[in-house]
Each structure stands twice: as C-alpha cells, then as structure tokens.
Amino acid sequence: MTDYRRFQYPGATWFFTVNLAERRGNRLLTDQIDPLRTAFAQVKSCHAFEIDAIVVLPEHLHCILTLPVGDSDFSTRWGLIKANFSRRVAKGERISKSREKRGERGVWQRRFWEHLIRDETDYRQHIDYIHWNPVKHGWVQVVKDWPYSSFHRYVKLGLYAENWGHEINLSKIAARE
C-alpha cells in the first residue's frame, strides 16, 4: 500500500525514529558513530536534506529532517542511509530466514516511524524530545553529557542553555515515546 502523505508534503519537515533490528544490548550505532556519520553525509551529498536535530543512541536514533522544496522522498534517503551504514560495519548480526532468503543484512528494522511536523510548537516539542532522549533512556543523568546529539550545536548557537533540562518540567517530553 502506498503512503500518499509522502507525496502531499514536498519540502516538509519530518520527525523520524529509526531502530536497529536487535535493540536489546546492542550498542552498534554509538560504537560505529563514524560510519553512521559518513552514511548520512554521503546520502546528503546526493539527496539533499537538512538535519534540524538528531540524537543517536546505542540502538536507535531520532532526528528531524527538512527536505528541499519540491521533494518528498524521505523513504529513499532512509533506505540509502541504512544500506550505506550496513555496508560499512562488520557482519555478525543475527539474520532472520526471510532476510536471508532476500539477501538482506539484519542491521536495521525494515521500517521507521515518521511524523510530519505541523507547526512551530510541534517542531520545538520534537526538538526537546530528541535532546531529552538519552536522559529518558538512562544513558546519562544530564542532557549535556550525551555526546551524540545536536544539543551541543544548539548550545553553541545560544538556543539552549548548557544546563537545559535540569530545572524545567520535562514530564511531558518524557511521556512521549
């Protein structure tokens, strides 16, 4: 079945959650952060997009991407990012029978979750959610301690204070996932 939303919003801004196939105990994304960065950069060089915000956790990532005006093909971009990254990491993951039959790797979940950003409030809430996510999952006690996040860029730009999240009520953010 075709998802017609992707054709209705060219140049839109989207929130994504992308997961590894095996999440439990897997640290592949942070252990292999350089190949992941390279995969993003190579795909971006051929299929333009802007990374508005991103957090990479050991077994999943969240990001907000803005596509160029007139372009709505986020599925191709994610397919290319996943494939590029998978080619750069050593084999060794468990592969299901169906993936084996298709000649696929078992690095990523086949699908991803997307959400069209509807307005400025939605945009800000998702950026906060992205930056809070390492605390939510217990990887760090404070947001600034997680190295794989656009939070640090936001601090440099003056959009967040370095101690963001220490004193504000983030229960709304923490309840989203």
SS3 (DSSP) at 55: strand
Candidates 153, 152, 170, 151; CA nearest to 62 is 151
pLDDT in tens, 146-168: 999 999 999 999 999 999 987 55
> Going from the N-terminus, what domains does the chain have, and what CATH number goes with each?
5-174 (3.30.70.1290)
Residue 146, both tokens: 């997680």
Identify the active-site residue in 129, 148, 154, 160: 148
Task: Please write the tens of the pLDDT for every residue from 71-110.
Answer: 889 999 999 999 999 989 878 767 777 766 666 676 788 8
CB 150 within 8 A of CB 131: yes
DSSP 8-state symbol, 177 = -
Amino acid at 10: P
| Res. 4: pLDDT tops 50 | no
Q: Is 154 a catalytic residue?
A: no
Residue given tokens 């209705």 in the structure block: 8
111 Cβ contact list (under 8 Å, min separation 6)? none
Instruction: Output phi, psi for 20, to 5 deg.
Output: -70, 155
**Given this model, what pLDDT does residue 26 score?**
86
Crossing angle for the helix pair 33-46 and 74-88, to the nearest 10 degrees: 140
pLDDT, mean over the chain: 86
- What CA–CA distance (Å, rounded) separates 32 from 88? 9
CA distance 119 to 13: 10
Ranges assigned E (strand) in 9-86: 13-19, 50-56, 60-66
- d(CA 58, CA 26) in angstroms, rounded, equals 6
